[in-house]
Amino acid sequence: MEFPDLGKHCSEKTCKQLDFLPVKCDACKQDFCKDHFTYAAHKCPFAFQKDVHVPVCPLCNTPIPVKKGQIPDVVVGDHIDRDCDSHPGKKKEKIFTYRCSKEGCKKKEMLQMVCAQCHGNFCIQHRHPLDHSCRHGSRPTIKAG
C-alpha cells in the first residue's frame, strides 16, 4: 500500500480489478483492464460510433453497406449471389462460338478451324478440304489416287 493512488480499477461491474496499466475506452471514456478493454468485452454502448467496418466484395471491390445488427459475411454473400457483376457463376459466356460453314451442319466448335484454301470455318468433322467439298478458286478439289 505504498502507492494507494497508483493504477485504476476496471470499470466492468463484475471485475473491478486494480490495474496498473489500465486502458481507456475511446468510445465511452472509462478505464478497463486487459480482459475488458475491447468494445465487445465490456459491451460498450458507444461502440457503434467507433467500430465501423465496411466490408468490400472480394470479386468486384465494391463496398457493401451493412446495417446495425447484420453479420457482414452474410451481407457480402448475399451481394455475391444477387448483385455482384463479377460473379464467375453468373457469366454465361458461350464456349462453342464457331459454327461450321458446311451446308446442313449445325455443329459449333470452341476453336476456329479455318480452311487454308476457301477460308471457311469448319467443325472437326469437316475441317479437311475433302470433307467439306472445298472449292479453291472455281473448281472443286478431287481425291488423290
pLDDT tens sequence across 7-38 = 899 999 999 998 888 999 988 999 999 999 98
Q: What rounded mean pLDDT belongs to the chain?
A: 82
Q: Give yes or no for a contact between 60 and 86, defined as CB atoms under 8 angstroms apart.
A: yes
Cβ-Cβ contacts under 8 Å for 139 (sequence gap 6 or more): none
pLDDT category, 141, cuts 50, 70, 90?
A: very low
Closest CA to 28 of 12, 16, 14: 12
Contact yes or no for 70/76 (Cβ under 8 A): no
| Range among 13-17, 85-89, 90-94, 132-136 rated most confident | 13-17
What does the pLDDT read at residue 93? 66
Amino acid making up residue 85: D
CATH code for 92-144? 4.10.1110.10
Q: pTM for this structure?
A: 0.37
For the domain made up of 1-51, give the CATH fold. Zf-an1 domain (4.10.1110)
Report the amino acid identity of residue 63. Answer: P
Does 121 score more than 50 pLDDT?
yes
Delimit the domains of the chain by residue range: 1-51, 52-91, 92-144
Q: What angle do CA 128, 132, 138 make, to 5 degrees?
A: 105
